[in-house]
Amino acid sequence: MNYDYLIVGAGLAGSVLAERIANQLNKKVLVIDKREHFGGNCYDYKDVNGILIHKYGPHIFHTSNHKVWEYLSQFTDWELYFHKVLAAVEGLKIPVPFNLNSLYMVFPNHYASKLEEILINTYGFGTKIPILKLKDSQNSELSYLADYIYKNIFLGYTLKQWEFKPEELDHSVTSRIPVNISRDDRYFQDIYQGLPKEGYSSIFEKLLNHPNIELRLNTEFKSDINNIKFNKLIFTGPIDSFFDYVHGQLPYRSLRFELESFNLESFQEVSQVNYPNNYDFTRITEFKHFYRNQIKDISKTVIAKEFSLAHIPGQNDPYYPIPKPENEIIFKQYLNEIDKLNGSVIFAGRLADYKYYNMDQVIGVALQIFDKKIATTI
């Protein structure tokens, strides 16, 4: 069979593009993935107790992009959920991002009140300040506060997660978790937040459930492509692997998870607790907090300890591009290789774009690619 499009990767970018091409253009699409399941890192499944496990770490959908929310809502109903995260700091578990509630937990009331007043007078109530910007403050009290937050919240966690200090990474990394000058304990403040009521895998089933779409799992792109007839190619894997690492490997961080089950109603207070300064793992996720109303046996729970490690091609999966200037130089060399293809291959997604995208950003970029690069060429 000859396919109009071959899409490499059944994650968010690949699945959204497959759905759009099949539904809007009535074209034949083959989606392949080297894993044994679709859904990429969003894949989830229910264990024997009915607890929905996020196989590759916690995924909370959040966006302020109405178009993206409206699009995805065609394929799921939503469990309204606001993600709250605690960090283990000096024997306490305090809310992160660091906010005014955190302030009063770690400092005496009289000093916390003084710091709150200075913060509000300097930056305004309701603002969000990147930690490295706060560290640049000329105010001695704010400088002390910034050093405390940097040391206890950012430094250890960033070293474990990335193997670099915060200031050694692109500012986009630390600005993802700013200091919030408010009492809003939510991890995200986007307009739309939630979890798909039947899980992420259900969304992918619906995205790919179309007579024009064929899915092949356990299929390697490089070794199997010669047996596939297609007109156009969409690639969502690592850009450096597509070009056989001609300019060297782009570094990524990978993850390892250790799942543990307990005969407990709850292991921890919230779904996610970060460990910036203790232990080798970065965080613990307790999955039953996501869908408490759907749990069959509330006396059992499952946690995942998350460890960050270097990506080694062929040994583990790439998760996060590492945003550093020297890596951007390598990436631009691969962009030049893309230009030589004269549009014959479309690249999409976190790994192909070497960008630290959130889920909504991946969907937004995929929809934009369809509108501007695919639908207009028909």
| H-helix segments, the chain | 12-25, 66-72, 100-106, 109-123, 131-135, 140-149, 156-162, 171-174, 200-207, 221-224, 239-242, 325-340, 350-353, 359-369
Using one digit for the tens of pLDDT, what is the confidence trace for 302-353? 999 999 999 998 899 999 999 999 999 999 999 999 999 998 999 999 999 9
Is the pLDDT at 298 greater than 90, yes or no? Answer: no
pLDDT of 297 reads: 65
- Asked which of 158-162, 172-176, 193-197 is least confident by mean pLDDT, the reply is 172-176
pLDDT of 296 reads: 65
Given the DSSP bridges, would you call strands 252-262 and 320-321 parallel, antiparallel or unpaired? antiparallel
pLDDT of 173 reads: 83
Confidence of residue 50 (pLDDT cuts 50, 70, 90): confident
Please state the rounded mean pLDDT for residues 141-155. 96
Is the pLDDT at 175 greater than 60, yes or no? Answer: yes
Is the pLDDT at 104 greater than 90, yes or no? Answer: yes
**2-38+208-251+321-377 maps to which CATH number?**
3.40.50.720
pLDDT of 177 reads: 87
Domain residue spans in the chain? 2-38+208-251+321-377, 85-180
Residue holding tokens 């895998």?
201
Is the pLDDT at 290 greater than 90, yes or no? Answer: yes
Using one digit for the tens of pLDDT, what is the confidence trace for 231-251? 999 999 999 999 999 999 999
Is the pLDDT at 111 greater than 70, yes or no? Answer: yes
pLDDT of 118 reads: 97
CB under 8 Å, gap of 24 or more: what pairs does 91-98 form? 93/269, 93/273, 95/185, 96/153, 96/177, 96/187, 96/274, 97/128, 97/177, 97/178, 97/179, 97/180, 97/187, 98/149, 98/153, 98/179, 98/180
Confidence of residue 292 (pLDDT cuts 50, 70, 90): confident
List of residues 6+ apart from 167 with CB closer than 8 A: 132
